[in-house]
Amino acid sequence: MAKKNLAELLVDTLSAAGVKRVYGVAGDSLNGITEAIRTHESIKWIHVRHEETAAFAAGAEAHLTGSLAVCAGSCGPGNLHLINGLYDANRSRVPVLAIAAHIPSYEIGSRYFQETHPESIFRECSHYCELVSQAEQMPRILEIAIQTALAKRGVAVIVLPGDVALREAINSKPRIHFPEMSTTIRPSDEEIAKVVGILNESRKVTILGGAGCAGAHNELIELAGKLKAPIVHALRGKEFIEYDNPFDVGMTGLLGFPSGYRAMMDCDTLLMLGTDFPYQQFYPEKATIIQVDIRGEQIGRRTKVDLGVVGDVQTTVRALLPNLTEKTDDKHLSTSVQHYKKARKEMDELAGGEVGEKSIHPQYVAKVINELAAKDAIFTCDVGTPTIWAARYLEMNGKRRLLGSFSHGSMASALPQAIGAQLVYPDRQVITLSGDGGLAMLMGDLLSLRQLGLPVKLIVFDNSALGFVELEMKAAGLLDFATELHNPDFAKMADAAGVLGLKANLPEQVRPMIAQALSHPGPALVEVVVNRQELIVPPSVKLDQVMGFSLFMMKAVLNGRGSEVIDLLKTNLT
């Protein structure tokens, strides 16, 4: 039997770990690895147009499957392009392995062409990053990297010089297998008793749930029923908490509902379950706060905590339930739910419709997407206003999924994440809510949709601006500056790339064009020209924000931009 080189051993090890594809852009330092993938039966090379796309796509795959996903970049600039997507994966806690090819090992330290120090550069966005310089290190270093990514739910990086990848392997096959981890973590009986004691004595309990509630929906609903507690969710918890939930009162935070904000501020005890919700100003100051998290280092990081326990949500709630006394007073719950229904009605009214309207509300676009999308659709959204519309208007039902750069907050994630999602689930509908700024940033990967044969549907919110940045400037009392986008015709560019391109300029065009795109068998893009002056009202408006907008309007008038003020007022006060 012919001897294997390290690249072939690497691919065999990835296959043993269940990896099905590697995302990347080919380059000479990756030649050994791409050749090993070319001749391997069970792993495919997914050729994209930008390495940042590769990392985001791998992160999306890991998010949807919970299994290891892999991306790769050639030496120097190639693997540096992975960094933004890897930061996102690491902060989103999804298992991704990055293969950072390196310059020839004998040139390291000579300031060689494309030389960087990836083992230093990637350390900030990974749990593990090591250089393979000897054949004897493989596959052990690779297996440690895989185990670290899976165990810590984050990024691991292997730095592999191109010449080392072609050396003869000392070991001929992987040493270990990688069973799926299903560990449960439970607080001690004493800690459970303390949590129960506080909850039983509390009159008004509110639950704040995050992504850690995944898999614990039934337990969460039973808990809320016993406590008569409204459930507020963070954005990353939306897809796991919102559906089939009579206790749901919406999100809080900058993107949320006033009902979610009020339910937290009015409680006497806040029970945080699996959330690292970051905005300190949205936590109650006087309530007793209990935090349950599988990562002990997160307890008390965002707000003062009276009792913190380490445990996964499902196991911890199961331990709590038999010991809780069911409450009879549901006033706090019913008031919160009624407030949510009122807020929900107002949000739906803001979306408007096509009859008699001249401009397109972006909320209306999101509402139509929600109504027309499949029951098991996978949505990806760009940061800024598309994330807001997704958070407020897309309805989760236990089958739908929602991906975005919710922790890292990167532009341009929607299209790359859609690529990863569609490859994992080729028979499911994958829809992006793309910003015009976000799409333009990595627009080259429109070509990947055609080349890979992926029927992704892109809905582009074209307001010719970095819309959320403009709003932040106005709220701070600044004239918006450097935010205007002179966009191309995205629909025509899609057509040129071999993607169905449609463009809606009028409200009555929105629904039929989105319906046409969703029924199209291949990739499709719908560019919707939406109102630039649409305001996003946070759940709590503070005096400094009101003063900021007033100052902005005064400055705009004095600088000859009074027409913008008139448009702003017409859009948001009518």
Note the pLDDT tens digit of each residue in 266-318: 999 999 999 999 999 999 999 999 999 999 999 999 999 999 999 999 999 99
Q: Which of 153-167, 204-218, 243-257 has the lowest mean pLDDT?
A: 243-257
Are 36 and 101 part of one and the same domain? yes
Are 144 and 243 part of one and the same domain? no
Name residues whose C-beta falls within 8 Å of residue 379's C-beta, 6 or more positions apart in sequence. Answer: 369, 373, 390, 394, 400, 401, 402, 403, 430, 431, 432, 433
Note the pLDDT tens digit of each residue in 332-343: 999 999 999 999
What is the CATH classification number for the domain harbouring 260? 3.40.50.1220
Q: Which of 10-14, 168-172, 523-527 has the lowest mean pLDDT?
A: 168-172
Range of the domain at 485: 356-573
Q: Which of 8, 51, 219, 239 is catalytic?
A: 51
pLDDT given for residue 429 in this prediction: 98
Give domain status of residue 485, yes or no: yes
Residue 574, pLDDT above cutoff 50: no
Give domain status of residue 172, yes or no: no
Hunting for tokens 């918890």 — which residue is that?
A: 237
pLDDT given for residue 546 in this prediction: 47
Q: Which of 114, 451, 509, 545 is catalytic?
A: 114
Pick the last residue of a domain from 340, 372, 403.
340
Q: Which of 374-383, 492-501, 509-518, 557-566 has the lowest mean pLDDT?
A: 557-566
Number of domain units in the chain: 3
Helix (H, G, I), strand (E, B) or coil at 22: strand
Are 407 and 471 part of one and the same domain? yes
What single letter denotes the amino acid at residue 384?
G
Are 370 and 300 part of one and the same domain? no
Q: Has this prediction a pTM greater than 0.85?
A: yes
Residue 572, pLDDT above cutoff 60: no
pLDDT given for residue 555 in this prediction: 53
At residue 175 the predicted structure's pLDDT band, cuts being 50, 70 and 90, is confident
Are 80 and 130 part of one and the same domain? yes
Give domain status of residue 174, yes or no: no
Give domain status of residue 347, yes or no: no
Cβ neighbours of 571 (radius 10 Å): 15
Cβ neighbours of 173 (radius 10 Å): 11
Give domain status of residue 184, yes or no: no
* Residue 346 known to be catalytic: no
Q: What is the mean pLDDT of the chain?
A: 92
Name residues whose C-beta falls within 8 Å of residue 354's C-beta, 6 or more positions apart in sequence. Answer: 364, 506, 507, 508, 510, 511
Note the pLDDT tens digit of each residue in 87-123: 999 999 999 999 999 999 999 999 999 999 999 999 9
Name residues whose C-beta falls within 8 Å of residue 284's C-beta, 6 or more positions apart in sequence. Answer: 264, 265, 267, 270
What is the CATH classification number for the domain harbouring 102? 3.40.50.970
Are 326 and 378 part of one and the same domain? no
Are 543 and 397 part of one and the same domain? yes
Contact 156, 99 (CB under 8 A): no
Give domain status of residue 396, yes or no: yes
Are 444 and 555 part of one and the same domain? yes
Pick the last residue of a domain from 128, 150, 165.
165
* Residue 429 known to be catalytic: no
Q: Which of 257, 277, 468, 549 is catalytic?
A: 468
Pick the last residue of a domain from 315, 340, 365.
340
CA angle, 242 as apex, 236 and 243 as ends, to 5°?
A: 130
* Residue 113 known to be catalytic: yes
Identify the DSSP state of 530: B
Cβ neighbours of 215 (radius 10 Å): 14
Hunting for tokens 């080349």 — which residue is that?
A: 451
pLDDT given for residue 535 in this prediction: 65
Are 331 and 362 part of one and the same domain? no
Are 110 and 238 part of one and the same domain? no
Give domain status of residue 411, yes or no: yes
Are 323 and 453 part of one and the same domain? no
Nearest Cα neighbor of 334 from 230, 199, 222 is: 230
Are 380 and 329 part of one and the same domain? no
Give domain status of residue 170, yes or no: no
DSSP labels for 271-286? EEES-----GGGS-SS
Q: Which of 232, 310, 383, 456 is catalytic?
A: 383
pLDDT given for residue 202 in this prediction: 97
* Residue 178 known to be catalytic: no
pLDDT given for residue 171 in this prediction: 82
* Residue 383 known to be catalytic: yes
